[in-house]
Structure 1
């Protein structure tokens, strides 16, 4: 199971981030850069006023490699020093459940459209919550038309030295499509209707569930 570091910029315009140094970090397997799209794609959920201006996902195969990269004055800190010190980013380390992947196997950078969802929580009983979600909700999500990828993330504790606030969402999801049109079609499909019905059967939880449609640039990195 891979580990993912989310770096979420919640403020204003996207900060100037030089991605090139991040791509050279030892142990980094994949890097995804998300930026908000301008068009409204979800007929059920209005556009979020607080959409992040940038979300970075840094994937590692091992927690130790992520912890080494995310230490104070380590490679991630050095690459993103100014926006991190300025308090632009929040951070969260999460375990990755890759439940569907139809992306081509390539080293090239790929442009996609992504719907990022966060369940801030907490759940009344997280074990019951997650078991239900993986057993019932995730299989429905996996049948969304023209789906490229489905990942579900759950939080983990680790040693990390980046000077930015920690986010604490109990769960995050990512569904990936070729473009905004494909995402909009999926969100208007009968599968989405089934998902909405199942949503109302989820075990009790509190907190918001923000949804953000994002333009995504991602791809596997060369082996370090």
Structure 2
């Protein structure tokens, strides 16, 4: 698929990572209708996300598989600066970056129960949306041809309606947006600058993509 073919209206548009930027840009452009289970995490390899989807999120972010990683992440919550722990799910190699606030004299797992409840709700909503909607667009920052081919095959088994996949492939030093002809059904891949928060890139790639009127 090319960019022209992927333009159009979708019942739901969701992010598959690799970090927060796809979800943030969808929200900025009023294309995001709910918070998904991968929106506020880092998944460096689409292969891990593929495995997660294939397993229907089974054992995702279970406490026995989670560990504190080096560093912390600062973000604004209602205008207030908040720092959070970086917590990795070692089973799926996916890192939570927003969900475990640093609270003095408390272990990072002190807020796990409320986090897991929130995550379960996000997973259930995600599955419900992609299995009941007539049209779905999945967006992923950074993936290979092989990973995208695998993703397409997995989604064929999950999604009941029509779906497309938009892959943004960042390249260091590249300054334009160029389509990549992978020849994978339902997959549009574009080479973009390695600037995940570049508004010009996102505006260009997402131009002409809308939410269907019945979902707005």
TM-score by length of 1: 0.29
TM-score by length of 2: 0.29
Which of structures 1 and 2 has the larger relative contact order (alpha carbons within 8 angstroms, sep 6+)? 1
Structure with more of its chain in helix, by fraction: 2
